[in-house]
Structure 1
Amino acid sequence: MTTIAVIPGDGIGPEVVEQAMVVLDRLGIGLKFDVLDHVNATSYLRDGSTLETADMDRVRSGAGILLGAIGDPRVRSVDYAREILLRLRFELDLYVNYRPARLLHDRLSPLRDPARRAIDCVLVRENTEGLYVDVGGTVREGTDHETAIDAEVSTYFGVSRVIGFALRAARHGVCMVDKANAVRNSGELWQRCWRDLGEAHPELVKTHLYVDVAAMRLVEDPASFEVIVTNNSYGDILSDLAAQVAGGLGAAASANINPESGAGLYEPVHGSAPDIAGTGTANPFGAILSGAMLLDQLGRTDEANAVRGAVDRAVAARRCTVDLGGQLGTADAGRAVVSEL
């Protein structure tokens, strides 16, 4: 048996991750789910617990992590989410955030021009550095002279390994995105790593865009991208934009991985969506497709492709939730994928 650690989390997380487990179990490939259903906002509000040492031991002993969502409007402190998500990313060194954006059906694209709708690209985002490492502080807090500083951290080691991954993952071309014309120091580091590593891949088309131009191009001609590599904050923004161009966040999947160790955290992009939690209307396809990415990491490529194909057929037949043009609830949409398998 292969054990998968599951953190259902908050909001719609338990609802969508349940359907992902149903689909993965249906494949009959010997997966066992270790569900950490106590890691959530309710536990945090009750006793301040987040991800304890024993929980990390269970996570490390598994072959991967399937995460529903973290976030609850009752929790005002940012420490709750950071102590779960960032602890997993940093302690497991999940330095690649891998977010594919693929149009599931032509009707889902918000773009008018049919010739430009067929987005099928991957955002490779550096996941352990940048603005999210919490370097900085506040002085004179609560006064008219309050000053807040957040420092962006980029290292040659961190930048070079994520660019190297993106170059190895591409078949045709990679676009590196930065803002070197305004953010000089980290921009120059990204540019140097890009030049140094790109020389080893003459077979690839290598392009560069500033982040504002990249955002414009993702809307203007999203089909022109294959792989985009960028830093933590730019990747966070661009990947959500790419997901919307591909038809919406509901079906957007992601992986946080360490390619060398094989560690991986797989989660839908949409978040906990507390406004629809408990209504049975959440789209489970993002969680199911995240499960397919987990299968890829386990070397189960045929099964992963079978899951993706089943989702495609369910969407084409409108056997899906309202956001994708169907009328099904969460559980029925999950059953539709199972029946397509």
Structure 2
Amino acid sequence: MKTYSVAVIPGDGIGPEVVNESLKVLKAMEDVHGGLKFVTKEFDWNCSYYLKNGRMMPENGLEQLREHDVILFGAVGDPAVPDHVSVWELILPIRKQFEQYVNLRPVKLLRGLESPLRYKSHQDLDFVVVRENTEGEYSNSGGLTHEGTPYELAVQNNIFTRYGSERIIKYAYNLAAKRSKKRLTVATKSNAINYAMPFWDEIVKEVGTNYNVETQLYHIDALAAYFISRPEEFDVIVASNLFGDILSDLGAATVGGLGLTPSGNINPEKKYPSMFEPIHGSAPDIAGKGIANPIAQIWSISLMMDHLQMPELGELIVNAIEEVLENTAIKTPDLGGKNSTEDMGNAIVSQIYKLGL
């Protein structure tokens, strides 16, 4: 029996609702595999915790999480707490302290769905965005001065290190080398960001000499346009923290919305636990209504299975999701249906058993 410990942080808003459905999928993985056990421990760290305790997690929160093999995260954010507080005191410390330097975000048009890009097929929309996850534009460097005066000044520094840039670019090249197109697209903006981006581009060229992979460098503005006009060109895309964040959300929009796209915050060396989550937020406007789409959260379990070196289970989850979308009438409101979060979760679990047993 192989046992994995899973730290579960449901978070805010719709987070607990979609996480509950993903836990059903973890149980189905145990039943289908036979020799597998997931031991979960839930942590109530969210904006309500902050309002009671003045912090998003305990002082030893990271030490508690480090005891686990993986982390399952729902969503964070509530109107009662400023977003920069909830994000910078919970999810970003986890990403940074656990060296989850790979943010892996697949962009795939699932069977049974139609892209808002009506002229693009399922074959056209199937790529992955590899986002640098620990430095770049989301580095905690800068400050305010002369607050409250006409001379108030905000400084926000971007930090790009050779070490951080090399490791994410190498990861992206290794991933591209394993895929059929063997093509890597690199997001840059070296024509305007005249220090960090030429530095990034040069590292791409240095690392790329070690791989038999076609490499394309595009300025971020043109690349965003190509996501709409010619997404079929892409296979693996590597980008800095901010650029990867924006591109992957744009990619999600092309395949049906944020409720459909998962994310893995990966420490490839497995020195620390990796964290799996949807890319959508806490959606407080629909929290408690039972209508949130759980597909992105459930799909994040597929990424978790891949990380734990059980790709056959990861593939099973995606196949089950597609079976529900293609061959049943189950649809949550964001997909034009009237079914609940629980309806969708139960339907996917049912397909997992049907396909896997």
Give the TM-score normalised by the residue count of structure 2.
0.92
- Cα separation, partners in 2 of 1:319 and 1:7, compared to 1, 3 Å: same
* Aligned residues of 2:188 and 2:218 also touching (Cα < 8 A): yes
* Aligned residues of 2:110 and 2:122 also touching (Cα < 8 A): no
Question: 1:184 is paired with a residue of what secondary structure?
Answer: coil
* Aligned residues of 1:174 and 1:207 also touching (Cα < 8 A): yes
Shift of 1:251: 1.0
| Gaps in structure 1 of 5+ consecutive residues | none
* Aligned residues of 1:104 and 1:247 also touching (Cα < 8 A): no
Pairing partner for 1:27 from 11, 19, 29: 29
Could you report, residue by residue, the CA deviation over 1:225-275 in whole angstroms, capped at 9, with x for unpaired residues? 001101011111111000111111101100011111253110001110000
Q: Supply the distance in 2 between the matched residues of 1:283 and 1:95 (Cα, whole angstroms).
A: 27
Question: 1:270 is paired with a residue of what secondary structure?
Answer: coil
Question: 1:243 is paired with a residue of what secondary structure?
Answer: helix
* Aligned residues of 1:97 and 1:254 also touching (Cα < 8 A): yes
Pairing partner for 2:238 from 225, 229, 233: 229
* Aligned residues of 1:20 and 1:334 also touching (Cα < 8 A): yes
Q: Does 1:283 align with 2:315?
A: no
Q: Supply the distance in 2 between the matched residues of 1:97 and 1:24 (Cα, whole angstroms).
A: 22
Shift of 1:105: 3.4
Shift of 1:81: 2.0
- Cα separation, partners in 2 of 1:107 and 1:77, compared to 1, 3 Å: closer
Size of the aligned set, in residue pairs, is 339
* Aligned residues of 2:144 and 2:154 also touching (Cα < 8 A): yes
* Aligned residues of 1:109 and 1:245 also touching (Cα < 8 A): yes
Q: Could you tell which deviates more after superposition, 269-278 or 298-307? A: 298-307
Q: Which residue of 1 aligns with 2:348?
A: 337
Pairing partner for 2:225 from 192, 197, 216: 216
Shift of 1:304: 1.1
Q: Supply the distance in 1 between the matched residues of 2:118 and 2:255 (Cα, whole angstroms).
A: 13
Shift of 1:103: 0.2
Residues 120-139 of structure 1: matches in 2 within 5 Å?
Answer: 120-139=126-145
Q: Does 1:323 align with 2:330?
A: no
Question: 2:210 is paired with a residue of what secondary structure?
Answer: coil
* Aligned residues of 1:14 and 1:68 also touching (Cα < 8 A): yes
Cα RMSD (Å): 1.4
Q: Which residue of 2 aligns with 1:249?
A: 258
Could you report, residue by residue, the CA deviation over 1:155-179 in whole angstroms, capped at 9, with x for unpaired residues? 1111111000000011210001110
| AA in 1 matched with 2:23 | M
Could you report, residue by residue, the CA deviation over 1:43-92 in whole angstroms, capped at 9, with x for unpaired residues? 10012132224432331111100000011111126223211111101110
Q: Could you tell which deviates more after superposition, 304-313 or 103-112? A: 103-112
Q: Supply the distance in 2 between the matched residues of 1:156 and 1:318 (Cα, whole angstroms).
A: 50
* Aligned residues of 1:106 and 1:117 also touching (Cα < 8 A): no
* Aligned residues of 2:332 and 2:341 also touching (Cα < 8 A): yes
Could you report, residue by residue, the CA deviation over 1:190-223 in whole angstroms, capped at 9, with x for unpaired residues? 111101000001x211111000000000000112
Pairing partner for 2:5 from 3, 6, 21: 3
Q: Supply the distance in 1 between the matched residues of 2:136 and 2:65 (Cα, whole angstroms).
A: 25
Question: 2:290 is paired with a residue of what secondary structure?
Answer: coil
Q: Supply the distance in 1 between the matched residues of 2:122 and 2:86 (Cα, whole angstroms).
A: 41
Q: Supply the distance in 1 between the matched residues of 2:232 and 2:284 (Cα, whole angstroms).
A: 33
Q: Which residue of 2 aligns with 1:259?
A: 268
| AA in 1 matched with 2:340 | G
* Aligned residues of 2:55 and 2:89 also touching (Cα < 8 A): no
* Aligned residues of 1:16 and 1:68 also touching (Cα < 8 A): yes
| AA in 1 matched with 2:220 | V
Could you report, residue by residue, the CA deviation over 1:319-340 in whole angstroms, capped at 9, with x for unpaired residues? 2312123321001110000111
Q: Supply the distance in 1 between the matched residues of 2:47 and 2:122 (Cα, whole angstroms).
A: 41
| AA in 2 matched with 1:231 | S
| AA in 1 matched with 2:343 | D
- Cα separation, partners in 2 of 1:131 and 1:256, compared to 1, 3 Å: same
* Aligned residues of 2:113 and 2:325 also touching (Cα < 8 A): no
Q: Which residue of 1 aligns with 2:175?
A: 169
* Aligned residues of 2:73 and 2:275 also touching (Cα < 8 A): yes
Q: Supply the distance in 2 between the matched residues of 1:217 and 1:42 (Cα, whole angstroms).
A: 41
Question: 1:27 is paired with a residue of what secondary structure?
Answer: helix
Q: Which residue of 2 aligns with 1:206?
A: 215
| Identity in percent | 38
Give the TM-score normalised by the residue count of structure 1.
0.96
Question: 2:164 is paired with a residue of what secondary structure?
Answer: helix
* Aligned residues of 1:111 and 1:117 also touching (Cα < 8 A): no
Question: 1:39 is paired with a residue of what secondary structure?
Answer: coil
Q: Which residue of 2 aligns with 1:273?
A: 283
Q: Supply the distance in 2 between the matched residues of 1:261 and 1:306 (Cα, whole angstroms).
A: 23
